[in-house]
């Protein structure tokens, strides 16, 4: 099956978004029934499956980059939005301060503790339906932070480093102690809840100061508070595309100048003939600076574009989820939302069939 | 206690046969609105489909569907939801395949 995203010779308004010196063109997708006469663009899962391509490009312990090819921006955007706002994680929601004589005031300390990512799998916990719901061992984790600072009697003489002079001069996320409630001790036995990063500084203490607080962590989503967001960034961009005009080749003496108008690796120049060619593998590196449009000598030689259905996702995980698990999580959240609306629509359908009359809301 | 808000309701002014209707979907945003709109527009029997978020402090979207041939917009909505679910499964499977193949660059990122 010939796909437009692999044939790069000409600008195709159906599949490409034009990038011009000061504007973009052909932004909206047109693959809908009724748009082109005598063409069927209705939904067909088999056809979609043929065109769909998902390819992981790079994976590290903190981030993932993958290509999503052959779907509409509305779908790619749904996954991105869900990643940021609706994939649940566990965070400290309530802080009970018994004692805080540090210079960090209670509210600020509570805010800082809330932002500490925890290593708890949200699948193992329930969501509190309302904020005033009874806290149980299924929906709440309890942490305790009890640190006092004192002088270090064994500090080297003349030292000015607070970390040597005092014990507990820094309050770190590793000071958080999990207190198992009810059945939690067995449920979480394999991976005891703790901050993912033990070295986050929550505050600083000096001799005589101490902090004694209790924290309740619950399950929540990013749209409630950014601390529940499982990702640092989740973004996509469209695959850049440089289209050369065969009618007007770049003059050999300007080949190097032409090459420099693009990101390194995008344009190849033959050392002997000075002929210009494109490196398809490196096309994604193009920064789309539009530098080439600034030079009158290159006018008409090339056109910049983006492939409308080729999404380059880049997701950075922050918190519990390994990066490769984030997209599946967001897909399952999406499917949950679909099932939810479906149930309501079916109930509506059943209502209407029984009553024989459409039930309409007043408002 | 007030009656809990429904997830979905049909707004006043819909055709009796539901061939043209506006649906209010509660607790949803552009995420589902735009995806549903796209999938409904893929249906050749849909004459018009559009969605809006009437006000940012009201947690709901409004989805307008108009059908050809006096068909029911509610069945079209159900069909679109099914198709969208199929699409999700397809993407999930393809992603799983790519991840399992191991054919990608692995690198060490320091945090």
Helices (H), A178-280: 184-187, 255-260
Q: Domain for residue B38, yes or no? A: yes
Q: Are residues A100 and A213 in the same domain?
A: yes
Chain A residues whose CB is inside 8 A of the B43 CB are 33, 42-43
CA B10: distance to chain centroid?
Answer: 15
To the nearest whole percent, how much of chain A has pLDDT over 90? 91
A-chain CB neighbours of B111 within 8 Å are 61-62, 197
Same domain, A211 and A267: no
> Are A56 and B99 inside 8 Å of each other by CB?
yes
Q: How many angstroms separate the CA atoms of B16 and B46, rounded?
A: 17
Domain containing residue A303: CATH number: 3.30.1360.10
Mean pLDDT of chain A: 93
Asked if B9's CB is within 8 angstroms of A357's CB, the reply is no
Query: Domain range spanning residue B64?
Result: 8-99
Task: Please give the pLDDT value at position A356.
Answer: 67
| Residues B92, A328: C-beta atoms closer than 8 Å | yes
Residue A258 host element (H or E): helix A255-260
pLDDT confidence tier of residue A286, bands split at 50, 70 and 90: very high
Is residue B77 in a domain?
yes
Beta-carbon neighbour count of residue B39 at 10 Å? 27
Per the CB < 8 A criterion, the answer to whether A88 and A109 are in contact is no
A54 inside 8 A of chain B by CB: yes
- Does the pTM exceed 0.95? no
Q: How many domains does chain B have?
A: 1
Give the CATH number, domain containing residue B25: 3.30.1360.10
Interface residue B75 vs chain A (CB under 8 A): yes
* Domain extent at residue A249: 14-27+50-87+230-339
Coil/strand/helix, residue B110: coil
- What is the token pair recorded at A174? 């590793």
**Whether residue A190 is found in the same domain as residue A320:** no
Q: Which of residues 8-37 of B touch A (CB under 8 A)?
A: 8-16, 18, 21, 24-25, 28-32, 34-37
Nearest CA to CA, how far is A308 from chain B (Å)?
A: 15
CA distance B53 to chain A (A): 15
Task: Give A187's contacts (C-beta < 8 A, 6+ positions apart).
Answer: A124
- Please give the average pLDDT of every successive group of 10 residues along chain B, which has 111 residues: 80 94 97 97 97 96 97 97 97 97 92 71
Number of domain units in chain A? 2
Whether A218 contacts A282, CB under 8 Å: no
User: The tokens 């080949």 sit on which residue?
Assistant: A255
In a domain, residue B30? The reply is yes
Phi and psi (nearest 5°) for A296?
Answer: -60, -30
Question: Which residue, A229, A250, A279, sits at the end of a domain?
Answer: A229
Kindly state whether residues A238 and A335 are assigned to the same domain.
Answer: yes
Whether A139 and A159 share a structural domain: yes
Q: Are A44 and A299 in contact (CB under 8 A)?
A: no
Residues 15-34 in A contacting B (C-alpha not used; CB under 8 Å)? 32-34
Percent of chain A with pLDDT strictly greater than 70: 97
CATH number of A118's domain: 2.170.120.12
| Category of A358 on φ-ψ map: left (φ > 0), alpha (ψ -120 to 50) or beta | beta
Give me the phi and psi of A99, to 5 degrees please: -155, 130
Q: Are residues A285 and A335 in the same domain?
A: yes
């Amino acid at each position: 099956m010939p796909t437009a995203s692999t044939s790069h010779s000409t600008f195709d308004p159906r599949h490409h978004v034009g990038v011009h010196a000061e504007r973009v063109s052909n932004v909206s997708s047109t693959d809908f029934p009724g748009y082109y006469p005598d063409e069927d663009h209705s939904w067909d899962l088999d056809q979609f499956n043929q065109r769909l391509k998902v390819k992981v490009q790079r994976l590290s312990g903190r981030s993932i980059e993958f290509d999503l090819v052959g779907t509409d921006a509305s779908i790619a955007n749904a996954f991105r939005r869900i990643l940021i706002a609706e994939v649940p994680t566990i965070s400290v929601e309530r802080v009970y301060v018994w004692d805080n004589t540090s210079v960090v005031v209670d509210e600020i300390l509570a805010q800082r503790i809330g932002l500490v990512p925890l290593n708890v799998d949200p699948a193992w916990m329930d969501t509190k339906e309302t904020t005033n719901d009874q806290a149980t061992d299924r929906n709440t984790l309890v942490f305790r932070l009890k640190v006092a600072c004192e002088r270090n009697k064994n500090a080297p003489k003349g030292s000015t480093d607070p970390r040597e002079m005092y014990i507990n001069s820094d309050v770190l996320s590793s000071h958080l102690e999990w207190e198992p409630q009810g059945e939690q001790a067995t449920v979480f036995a394999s991976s005891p809840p703790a901050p993912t990063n033990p070295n986050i500084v929550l505050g600083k203490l000096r001799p005589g100061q101490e902090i004694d607080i209790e924290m309740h962590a619950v399950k929540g989503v990013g749209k409630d508070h950014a601390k529940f967001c499982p990702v640092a960034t989740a973004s996509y961009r469209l695959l850049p595309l440089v289209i050369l005009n065969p009618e007007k080749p770049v003059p050999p003496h300007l080949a190097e100048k032409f090459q420099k108008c693009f990101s390194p690796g995008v344009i190849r120049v033959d050392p002997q003939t000075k002929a210009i060619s494109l490196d398809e593998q490196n096309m994604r590196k193009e920064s789309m600076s539009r530098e080439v449009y600034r030079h009158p000598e290159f006018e008409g030689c090339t056109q910049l574009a983006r492939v409308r259905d080729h999404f380059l996702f880049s997701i950075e995980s922050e918190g519990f989820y390994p990066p490769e698990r984030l997209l599946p999580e967001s897909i399952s959240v999406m499917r949950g939302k679909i099932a939810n609306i479906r149930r309501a629509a079916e109930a509506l359908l059943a209502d209407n069939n029984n009553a024989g009359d459409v039930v309409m809301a007043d408002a | 206690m007030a009656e809990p808000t429904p997830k979905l309701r049909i707004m006043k002014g819909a055709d009796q046969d539901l061939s043209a209707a506006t649906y209010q979907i509660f607790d949803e945003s552009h995420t589902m609105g735009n995806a549903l709109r796209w999938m409904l527009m893929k249906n050749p029997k849909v004459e018009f489909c559009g969605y809006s978020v009437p006000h940012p402090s009201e947690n709901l979207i409004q989805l307008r569907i108009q059908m050809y041939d006096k068909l029911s917009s509610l069945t079209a909505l159900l069909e679109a939801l099914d198709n969208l679910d199929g699409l999700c499964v397809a993407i999930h499977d393809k992603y799983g395949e790519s991840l399992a193949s191991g054919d990608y660059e692995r690198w060490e990122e320091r945090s």
